Amino acid sequence: LKLGDGFLWGCATSAHQVEGNNVASDWWEWEQTRPDLCAEPSGDACDHYHLYGQDMAILRALGFNCYRFSVEWARIEPEKGLVSRAALDHYKRMLDEAHRLGLVTILTLHHFTSPRWATRAGGFTDIGVKDAFKRYLELVARELGGMSEYFTPINEPNIVALAGYRMGTFPPGKATKEDRRAATAAFCELHGFARDAIKASNPAARVGLSLSMTDYQPMPGAEDRVARIREIMEDVYLASARGDDFIGVQCYTRDRVPPSGVLPPDPERPLTEMGYETYPEALGACIRRAHAATGLPVLVTENGIAPVGDDDEVRIAFVRRALAEVARAIQEGLPVWGYVYWSLLDNFEWNLGYRPRFGLVAVDRSSQRRVIKRSAVELGAIALRNELPDEIG
């Protein structure tokens, strides 16, 4: 399937996962103080803070035309009210460099991490933190709003609300239903605020909510249960995306949901290093659902796999099958604007540390040398041809 010229072929990273030494952030502190929940500290990560030029050049040379990355609130405002001009300038240089290379950018303003001071004050359920975040959004929209074509302001708010406010595995480590509900409401409000702030600065910017979606498959009798799960995980956010320019779909697997309990992954299918079932077909269902719920064009802002043992052949097969889903959706008439693979680099996978490897490019973290995997070349070539495989067994 030959695609239109504007189709976005990208890879994504996020600041904390690749930059290194993000010492003013809540996650840095979490890694130091919660070894029970964190496999290892992020440390230097991929030193992308310094090596971004080289990494973007690799991305471009592989054949991609788009880079999704995030700016770090904890660097821009390391203490409440203290704005680092130098950090803002750093991100301006990144955006300039991306464009100089011919890459379109998708900019995220919050990807899981907050400054320590914000999390100590209670996180997003605290009214003062919400107000501080609004001021940060206004600042970043003013300074950087005109410098990126696309924005996904808050990355996967549903995952932060779940892990940070209901399960207690992400900062701020809260774990009640009320906290999750309050965080969910806060994120929905803040998403709209961010969209308005960006549009005020750059009416031409395209803004979309980036949502972690799962292909929830109800077993007989579990329709109501799935509806309840979807309500708090997806539907409330899909509703707050009305008024956006696109919906950012981020999808990794499916969940088969029986009326009670949790069904383990299908033993017929291999697990990923994350423990998920390898199920690339989930992407098609999530694209359809996101579009049906919002009426918006879809941009796949994350999709990818960390195969067991980093078996790159498994990654190649996964991506080709996921792309076949994109092709099918487009053939059905759905507007799909692009496909962004997670991730450009092997990086810091939150609680699990560096073990799961999602990257198209490996990183030897003792030398910071980059090693290009075959999957990078394969996907880059597809991007360059601008053609989607329509059926792969």
| CB nearer to ligand BGC: pick between 159 and 377 | 159
CA–CA distances in Å: residue 44 to residues 34, 49, 76, 310, 344: 19, 9, 19, 21, 17
Which of these, 48, 51, 55, 53, lies nearest to 71 by C-alpha position? Answer: 48
| CB nearer to ligand BGC: pick between 101 and 159 | 159
Residue 26 C-beta: closest distance to ligand BGC, Å: 15
The string of DSSP letters for 210-229 reads EEEEEEEEEPTT-HHHHHHH
| CB nearer to ligand BGC: pick between 156 and 244 | 156
Which of 10, 14, 117, 246 binds ligand BGC (CB under 6 A)? It is 14
Q: Cα separation of 93 and 203, whole Å?
A: 22
| CB nearer to ligand BGC: pick between 145 and 359 | 359
* Burial of residue 245, with CB atoms counted within 10 A of its CB: 0-12 exposed, 13-18 middle, 19 or more buried: middle
Q: Would you mind telling me the total number of residues written for the chain in this entry? A: 393
Which residues does 96 contact at the CB level (< 8 Å), separation at least 6?
Answer: 147
The H-or-E segment that residue 15 falls in is helix 15-18
Residue 354 C-beta: closest distance to ligand BGC, Å: 11
Say if CB 152 and CB 187 are below 8 A apart: no
Kindly state the greatest CA–CA separation across the chain: 56
Within residues 270-329, the interface with ligand BGC by CB under 6 A covers 302
Round the CA-based radius of gyration of the chain to a whole number and report it.
Answer: 19
Which of 159, 226, 293, 362 binds ligand BGC (CB under 6 A)? It is 159
Binding string, residues 332-371; x marks residues near ligand BGC by CB under 6 A: ----------x------x--------x-------------
Stretch that binds ligand BGC, among 22-30, 42-50, 62-70, 155-163 (CB under 6 A): 155-163
Residue 49 C-beta: closest distance to ligand BGC, Å: 17
Residue 18 C-beta: closest distance to ligand BGC, Å: 10
Residue 11 C-beta: closest distance to ligand BGC, Å: 12
The residues facing 370 across adjacent strands are: 363
Strand blocks (E) in 35-90: 66-70
Helix axes 282-294, 312-331, angle to 10 degrees: 40
| CB nearer to ligand BGC: pick between 40 and 89 | 40
Residue 250 C-beta: closest distance to ligand BGC, Å: 6
Phi first, then psi: what are they for 4, rounded to 5°?
-70, 160
Binding string, residues 242-281; x marks residues near ligand BGC by CB under 6 A: --------x-------------------------------
| CB nearer to ligand BGC: pick between 159 and 175 | 159
Stretch that binds ligand BGC, among 20-28, 50-58, 86-94, 154-162 (CB under 6 A): 154-162
Binding string, residues 197-236; x marks residues near ligand BGC by CB under 6 A: ---------------x------------------------
The H-or-E segment that residue 312 falls in is helix 312-331
Report how many residues bind ligand BGC under the rule CB under 6 A: 11
Which of these, 232, 235, 225, lies nearest to 255 by C-alpha position? Answer: 225
* Residue appearing with tokens 């949901």: 257
Within residues 29-88, the interface with ligand BGC by CB under 6 A covers none
Stretch that binds ligand BGC, among 84-92, 152-160, 184-192, 282-290 (CB under 6 A): 152-160
Residue 288 is classified by DSSP as H
| CB nearer to ligand BGC: pick between 52 and 276 | 276
Which of 31, 156, 255, 310 binds ligand BGC (CB under 6 A)? It is 156
| CB nearer to ligand BGC: pick between 222 and 238 | 238
3-state secondary structure of 299: strand
Residue 275 is classified by DSSP as S
| CB nearer to ligand BGC: pick between 143 and 234 | 234
Residue numbers at the binding site for ligand BGC (CB under 6 A)? 14, 17, 155-156, 159, 212, 250, 302, 342, 349, 358
